[in-house]
Amino acid sequence: MKPSLYLIIILLLLTACDDGDIITVDLEFDKELEYCDSSVDSFLIFDLREDPNESLSVIIPRSTNQEFPFTEATPTDTPELFLIGGSNRFIYRTYNRAVATGELCDVVPPGSLNIVEDYEADQGNIAVTVTIEDDDNDGIASEDEGRGEPDENGNYPNAEDTDLDGIPDYLDEDDDNDNVNTENEIGDGETPQDTDGDGSPDYLDTDDDGDGIPTINEDEDQDFNPINDISVNDGVSIAHYLNILETTDYGSPGFRDDNEYTRTVSASFFITDFNLEILSATELDFGVLEYSFTLPEDD
């Protein structure tokens, strides 16, 4: 019978010792992965659980000055492959007690923590698919910010740049260059906020309230942050740039030049065609590793 494309190991019972003991191995962990960067040579990516006290982990190489395991997306149909063997490892272990996350990352493990069983795959592949829905984490998906299609080098040469500041929208924390970050202009609903109802959402509108004064010129204290310049109407505090009744032009303080953005990476791991001595399988859904980091715009 043709094997299933996605094989999930629920329970495996087998005789392991001469005295007839039975080892119960259940590799259905919670799939919420974490990682350690305490080694300069490799990343340890792992999943823990209690009762029983076990870990599943993979080890992949770490390059010099490499801060994070993955920073760029991979094509969904072409995952990054690590051939198990040498510096690429897949390991199943049991312990004498519950393991805290930090203990696996310690260079020197605590003396009270002992490995009871230790099995390492001698063949197989670690397949990693990295997805990034929102490259600059501003609340607008990259595909909705005109990123376009990648070229053969993985770059996006046709990405839209609304404010023509040289930073494409999908990497720009302030898409319209009005000194109010995109994440602060999209509102809380499914549809991006459009204060003046002109059909252009605030994050792409240089005059958010439609009062004829550009948002950047409604920065009363000239601190490059129109958000904190407030007027009060009928007991309600509102920023000048969102108040159509406030029409004072304070002039532009200029544009900020410190664009940084936060990127959230989601890396899905599948272990394929592996052999752990006590069991083997065509494919195991190891789980998803998710983390965020801040980058300057030119990275």
**pLDDT value at position 14?**
33
Is it the case that residue 8 has pLDDT exceeding 90? no
**pLDDT value at position 87?**
95
Please give the average per-residue pLDDT across 155-168, as a whole number. 94
- Walk across the sheet containing 32-36 and list its strands: 80-83, 125-131, 260-275, 280-296, 32-36, 42-49, 54-61, 89-95, 115-120
**pLDDT value at position 76?**
75
Q: What ranges make up the beta strands (E) of the chain?
A: 12-15, 22-25, 32-36, 42-49, 54-61, 80-83, 89-95, 115-120, 125-131, 230-233, 236-239, 260-275, 280-296
Query: Mean pLDDT for the chain?
Result: 88
Q: Identify the band that residue 20 occupies on the pLDDT scale cut at 50, 70 and 90.
A: very low
Is it the case that residue 21 has pLDDT exceeding 50? no
Is it the case that residue 1 has pLDDT exceeding 80? no
Asked whether 215 and 241 are in contact (CB, 8 A), the reply is yes
pLDDT tens, position by position, 240-298 = 999 999 999 999 999 988 888 889 999 999 999 998 888 778 999 999 999 999 887 55
pTM of the predicted structure, to 2 decimals: 0.78
The one-letter amino acid code at 252 reads S
Q: Is 244 exposed, middle or buried (0-12, 13-18, 19+ CB in 10 A)?
A: middle
**Residue, of 73 and 223, whose pLDDT is higher:** 223
